[in-house]
Amino acid sequence: MIWNPGAEVEVKPDALQSHPRPAAYDASGRPGVRAESAVARPWVIVAGGFHRRGGMDRANAALASYLADRGAPLHLVAHEVEPALAARPNVAVYRVPKPAGSYFLGEWLLGERGKAVACAVLGKTPAARVIVNGGNCRWPDVNWVHSVHRAWPLRDRGAPVWFRLKSRIDKRLARHHERAALGAARMVIANSEKTRRDLIDRVGVPARKIFIRYLGCEPGLRPVSAPERLAARARWRIAGERPLAIFVGALGYDTNKGFDTLCAAWRALCARPGWDVDLIAAGGGRGFARWTELVRRMGLAGRVTMLGFSDRVPELIAAADLLVSPARYEAYGLNAHEALCRGVPALVSAAAGIAERYPGELSDLILRNPEDAGELAERLLRWRAAMADYRHRTQPFSARLRAHTWDDMACGMTELIESQPNPAIEPRR
């Protein structure tokens, strides 16, 4: 029996039983043909979520779906798993609660549960592989890093005192767990060169352990067509051809997403007689009411719509002319990636990992200093003066991003992992 710290377990019959060893393995359990062994071996993935509502959760779901589609025995340890994935016959789900909604307590339980499940699965099939995320579980196999706490500074000035105290405790613990988990990992997969550099410079992870695999996108994506754009704008009640910019990101008590910089730039722009662009901000969080009040105090209530959390972001992107993301720290930037895949220009900060993928001809869509509202306003003015040109120049980059789907990402990760020694079989040298 597996130790269960208050978790709800959905284990299908024989999910933890040993599976017949296929011809892809030799007598010692080492993989032979990687394409076959990736399917045959069990996989344990420990992650906060496997669903489509968040960046890292979407990436985790894509990897899990790829493996499940190919028949791999899959063990998912998480707070939340989308129902369609959990219902697969070859997927065992171990749901871990978040006591009182606490991410800190939830992550501790997630790590403990992840280790228990990994031990049980490896006890049956030593050839199994284990993937964890960042500091959520210390395990000596694969660590897929979606963000780096030591590179992600606290930016909570003006937040309630209780939140600031809690943030400092959480950050200290997160950095400690991150260093321990990454030190134990045999292989580290980063989502960008920026993340790789942060792992080396801030955490001290040896460069030889780190590999980069960029995120993917939904297959079949195309640039927004004219009829689709008109229909989306009608659903969002956007008048005529009035230009629309969007912001998509969590609106907590912190200022990491740069919404304060965007508001300051928008106020300056709205003071200009010719500025005719409206802004919709999509994103919820504990600080949403505070940000809404700031927008009102700045006199922007008529020009900035505070949407809150929405599951209609794809529709919003279809209606938009520009996505703006002046984040102070962003390991990658999946919202910008998805907008670009639809052919919608995205103005991002140089602090985002996706900025390293921008071609030289789109460098004017990269904000060098996310603290500088003046620079952001200037770049927005340049975009407004040549909207059609920016959309046209974005198309080649859009096509390159669309060519790399979630399955391409997952296939590349699987082949990479299969190419490295399994620590359960081959001892550390």
Average pLDDT over residues 287-294: 92
Which band of pLDDT confidence, cut at 50, 70 and 90, is reported for residue 13? very low
Number of H helices, E strands in the chain: 14, 16
Average pLDDT over residues 279-294: 93
3-state secondary structure of 118: helix
Which band of pLDDT confidence, cut at 50, 70 and 90, is reported for residue 1? very low
Residue 239 has pLDDT above 80, yes or no: no
* The pLDDT value given to residue 425: 64
Average pLDDT over residues 225-238: 92
How does strand 142-145 pair with strand 129-132?
parallel
Q: What are the backbone dihedrals phi and psi of residue 115, each rounded to the nearest 5 degrees, phi first?
A: -65, -40
**Pick from 408, 406, 404, 413: which is nearest to 43 by CA?**
413
pTM of the model: 0.87
Residue 410 has pLDDT above 60, yes or no: yes
Which band of pLDDT confidence, cut at 50, 70 and 90, is reported for residue 297? very high
* The pLDDT value given to residue 181: 96
Percent of the chain with pLDDT over 90: 73
Give the mean pLDDT of the chain.
Answer: 88
**Pick from 247, 318, 235: which is nearest to 281 by CA?**
247
Residue 426 has pLDDT above 70, yes or no: no
Residue 28 has pLDDT above 60, yes or no: no
Q: Cα separations (Å) of 269 from 335, 350, 372?
A: 24, 22, 14
The answer to whether 333 and 325 have CB atoms below 8 angstroms apart is yes
* The pLDDT value given to residue 238: 87
Which band of pLDDT confidence, cut at 50, 70 and 90, is reported for residue 36? very low
* The pLDDT value given to residue 158: 76
The answer to whether 40 and 19 have CB atoms below 8 angstroms apart is yes
The answer to whether 50 and 77 have CB atoms below 8 angstroms apart is no
Q: How far is CA 62 from the centre of its chain?
A: 11
* The pLDDT value given to residue 166: 79
Residue 28 sits at the vertex; the CA angle it makes with 123 and 63, to the nearest 5 degrees, is 60
Residue 251 sits at the vertex; the CA angle it makes with 250 and 257, to the nearest 5 degrees, is 70
Residue 359 has pLDDT above 60, yes or no: yes
**Pick from 347, 353, 346, 352: which is nearest to 375 by CA?**
347
Average pLDDT over residues 346-351: 97
Which band of pLDDT confidence, cut at 50, 70 and 90, is reported for residue 39? low
Average pLDDT over residues 280-304: 93
Which band of pLDDT confidence, cut at 50, 70 and 90, is reported for residue 30? very low
Instruction: Provide the strand spans (E) within 11-78.
Output: 43-46, 49-50, 74-78
Average pLDDT over residues 43-67: 93
Length of the chain in residues, anyone? 429
Of 104-118, 131-145, 378-392, minimum mean pLDDT range: 104-118
CB within 8 Å of 223: residues ≥ 6 apart: 342, 343, 395, 398
* The pLDDT value given to residue 237: 87
* The pLDDT value given to residue 428: 46
Which band of pLDDT confidence, cut at 50, 70 and 90, is reported for residue 20? very low
* The pLDDT value given to residue 163: 79
* The pLDDT value given to residue 323: 98
Q: Cα separations (Å) of 175 from 111, 210, 219, 331?
A: 15, 18, 35, 15
Element (DSSP H or E) covering residue 131: strand 129-132
* The pLDDT value given to residue 38: 54
Average pLDDT over residues 147-155: 87
Which band of pLDDT confidence, cut at 50, 70 and 90, is reported for residue 27? very low
Residue 5 has pLDDT above 80, yes or no: no
Domains defined for the chain, CATH in brackets:
8-216+406-418 (3.40.50.2000), 226-402 (3.40.50.2000)
Which band of pLDDT confidence, cut at 50, 70 and 90, is reported for residue 160? confident
Which band of pLDDT confidence, cut at 50, 70 and 90, is reported for residue 14? very low
Residue 172 has pLDDT above 90, yes or no: no
